[in-house]
């Protein structure tokens, strides 16, 4: 092993990643080369300092600050599966309150001048309620998908 080869293997030697056979050749060169001994001493100082960096502590009160900042509804909001429960629930609620929803819809349509519009096989009110249910279910699924994408981003 010459000086150039030793310099190329220097870091692996210091971090003990050099194969045993190469290590023996490296050691043999070191015994007779002052320049490579100097290189080794310098690299050892660098690696040793990097290996022994102290753990730094944040200011007092850090943990309390973190705990105060935690969003309280995390499990509910960020689980993508809740949308599977919420979607039929929302659709059910729309069906349950279809009478009230129909009256609100009718009032809105007559204000906008669209009350004469008819939809084949469905009354306008039924179509409106179905549309509302689709929008709500879509919203629930979209939020669930967003939560899932966020989890994939941070996933192990």
Residues that bind other proteins (CB under 8 A): 11, 38-39, 41-43, 45-47, 49-51, 53-59, 62-63, 65-67, 69-71, 74-75, 78-79, 150-152, 154-156
Is the CB of 27 or the CB of 35 nearer to other proteins?
35
Is the CB of 97 or the CB of 150 nearer to other proteins?
150
Minimum Å gap between C-beta 19 and other proteins is 16
Identify whether the C-beta of residue 140 lies closer than 8 Å to the C-beta of residue 86. Answer: yes
SS3 at position 119: strand
User: How far, in Å, CA of 138 to CA of 94, rounded?
Assistant: 14
Is the CB of 79 or the CB of 126 nearer to other proteins?
79
User: How far, in Å, CA of 13 to CA of 26, rounded?
Assistant: 8
């Amino acid at each position: 092993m010459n000086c150039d080869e030793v310099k190329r293997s220097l870091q692996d030697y210091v971090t003990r990643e050099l194969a045993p056979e190469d290590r023996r050749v490296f050691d043999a060169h070191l015994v007779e080369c002052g320049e490579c001994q100097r290189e080794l001493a310098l690299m050892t100082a660098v690696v040793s300092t990097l290996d022994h960096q102290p753990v730094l502590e944040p200011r007092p009160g850090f943990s309390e600050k973190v705990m105060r900042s935690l969003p309280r509804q995390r499990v509910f909001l960020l689980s993508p599966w809740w949308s599977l429960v919420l979607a039929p629930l929302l659709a059910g609620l729309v069906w349950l309150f279809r009478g009230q929803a129909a009256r609100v819809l009718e009032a809105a349509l007559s204000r906008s001048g669209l009350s004469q519009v008819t939809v084949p096989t469905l009354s306008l009110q039924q179509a409106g309620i179905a549309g509302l249910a689709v929008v709500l279910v879509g919203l629930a699924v979209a939020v669930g998908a967003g939560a899932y994408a966020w989890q994939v981003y941070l996933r192990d």
